[in-house]
């Protein structure tokens, strides 16, 4: 119901910002938990926020410097109707990690688990107004970690939102491995909390695969060299074939929409939703050659630079039947959205070049 108050974490992140914009457009009032005044300034300067120009009664901020500190959200949860928890650590490496192995559990697993539990405990103990909490999880939370680290037969198994796996113990060998485990551990801990404490609110977990889309908060190339974006940009710039991964993807706008639609009281609580579309990364090179011919001619982009990958099998049927999300993403659209709309990135690394004006329609080139 529009006008209700939503506490949002992670609003200065890639997905969190898209959720914030969708909430405001949908008429919700938003209390964004941020770590500093600089984060507030970043949000208010974003083009979509300046265009919406929300009044101070619709977009509010609360400072939470350390989001896993005891009592971090005690004040933030006061009087809110819903909570969307999108804040979480992101991996920035593939198979080889520069993070000391002894730090991986603390930086990823402990942080992610404690962040989820801090939100749940505050909502349960410090206020009685929360009706639902929506948490950003991931498809990595419900598949064995080896699925994302090696070419295994497990990649052929069909999995759905009801799947659960046990989080393997440390040590972990890479940021990516620790990230996968963190999502599994956080999901399991959250659901255990719901079973043990039986709070008055319910819980919905949104489980997207790799998320792509325009990032209007990106102000430097480093902003686009983390998480899912790195896999595509890194191989294009270096021409080096990356380790075989998984190619399932989804558009950021669709993931944000799912979070907001999950607040609807018509959607049953205490369930999970998987968002994923099959996408072959090898298809992106010919698409990008048409979008950015000069980048390939100059040698900035390498034609051999594509990410080998295999699509996992996901049951995503409940996304459309229960919350009304209809996928529009295809391989060309993910590539087009990721690369053609991210104008800040191209101004930074391609000053003399611009994407060609060729238009796309459906899944074919016109």
Q: In this predicted model, what pLDDT tens digit does every residue of 299-333 receive, in sequence order?
A: 888 877 666 677 899 999 999 999 988 765 555 45
Rounded to 5°, the CA angle 231-235-241 comes to 105
pTM of this structure: 0.88
List beta partners, residue 144. none
Burial of residue 240 (CB within 10 Å: 0-12, 13-18, 19+) is exposed
- φ, ψ for residue 185, nearest 5 deg: -65, -40
Same domain, 63 and 96: yes
Nearest to 63 by CA among 30, 32, 89: 32
H or E element that contains 15: helix 14-25
Span 349-364, pLDDT tens digits: 443 333 343 332 222 2
CB 337 within 8 A of CB 212: yes
Verify that 73 and 154 share a domain, yes or no. yes
What sign results for the dihedral spanned by CA atoms 329, 330, 336, 342? positive
- Let me know whether 182 and 243 are in one domain: no
| Same domain membership, residue 298 and residue 189 | no
Residues 126 and 173 in one domain: yes
Q: Do 218 and 258 reside in the same domain of the chain? A: no
Distance of alpha carbon 139 from its chain centroid, rounded? 11
Query: In the chain, count of helices (H) and strands (E)?
Result: 13, 15
Give residue 56's pLDDT: 96
Number of structural domains (the chain) is 2
Rounded Cα gap, residues 232 and 291, in angstroms: 15
CB atoms within 10 A of CB 197: 12
pLDDT value, residue 227? 54
What is the separation, in whole angstroms, between the first and last Cα of the chain?
41
The values of phi and psi at residue 275, to 5°, are: -120, 115
Q: Which domain holds residue 264?
A: 1-209+249-276+313-329
> Do residues 114 and 143 both lie within one domain?
yes
61/64 Cα distance (integer angstroms) = 9
pLDDT score at 219? 72
Q: Are residues 162 and 68 in the same domain?
A: yes
| pLDDT at 98 (0 to 100) | 67
Do 288 and 319 have their domain in common?
A: no
Q: How far apart (Å, rounded) are the C-alpha atoms in residues 74 and 118?
A: 9
Identify whether residues 231 and 289 lie together within a single domain.
Answer: yes
Identify the H or E element spanning 9: strand 5-9
CATH number of residue 38's parent domain = 3.40.50.720
Query: Which pair of tokens denotes residue 28?
Result: 């919700």
Residues of the chain with pLDDT under 70: 1-2, 91-98, 220-234, 241-245, 282, 305-308, 327-366
Per-residue model confidence (pLDDT) at position 150: 83
Task: Mark whether 260 and 296 lie in a shared domain.
Answer: no
Neighbours of 150 (CB within 10 A): 12
Q: Which 8-state DSSP code applies to residue 302?
A: -
Does 155 share its domain with 218?
Answer: no
């Amino acid at each position: 119901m529009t006008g209700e108050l939503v506490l949002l974490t992670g609003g200065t992140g890639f997905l969190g910002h898209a959720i914030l914009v969708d909430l405001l457009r949908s008429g919700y009032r938003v209390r964004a938990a941020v770590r500093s005044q600089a984060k507030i300034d970043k949000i208010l300067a974003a083009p979509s926020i300046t265009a919406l120009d929300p009044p101070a009664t619709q977009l509010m901020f609360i400072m939470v410097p350390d989001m896993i500190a005891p009592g971090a959200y005690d004040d933030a949860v006061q009087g809110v109707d819903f909570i969307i928890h999108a804040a979480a650590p992101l991996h920035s490496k593939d198979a080889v990690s520069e993070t000391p192995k002894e730090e991986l559990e603390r930086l990823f697993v402990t942080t992610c688990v404690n962040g989820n539990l801090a939100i749940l405990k505050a909502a349960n103990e410090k206020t009685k107004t929360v009706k639902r909490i929506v948490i950003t999880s991931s498809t990595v939370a419900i598949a064995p970690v080896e699925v994302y680290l090696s070419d295994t037969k497990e990649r052929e198994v069909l999995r759905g939102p009801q799947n659960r796996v046990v989080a393997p113990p440390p040590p972990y060998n890479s940021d990516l491995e620790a990230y996968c485990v963190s999502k599994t551990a956080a999901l399991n801990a959250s659901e255990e909390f719901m079973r043990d404490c039986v709070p008055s609110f319910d819980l919905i977990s949104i489980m997207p695969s790799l998320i792509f889309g325009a990032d209007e908060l990106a102000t430097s190339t480093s902003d686009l060299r983390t998480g899912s974006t790195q896999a595509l940009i890194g191989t294009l710039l270096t021409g080096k074939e990356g380790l075989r991964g998984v190619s399932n993807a989804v558009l950021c706008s669709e993931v944000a929409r799912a979070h907001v639609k999950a607040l609807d009281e018509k959607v049953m609580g205490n369930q999970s939703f998987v968002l994923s579309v099959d996408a072959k990364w090898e298809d992106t090179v010919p698409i990008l050659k048409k979008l950015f011919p000069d980048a390939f001619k100059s040698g900035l982009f390498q034609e051999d630079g594509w990410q080998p990958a295999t699509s996992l099998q996901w049951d995503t049927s409940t996304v459309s039947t229960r919350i009304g999300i209809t996928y529009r993403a295809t391989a060309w659209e993910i590539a087009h959205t990721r690369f053609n709309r991210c104008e800040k990135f191209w101004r930074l690394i391609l000053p003399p070049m611009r994407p060609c004006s060729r238009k796309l329609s459906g899944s074919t080139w016109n």
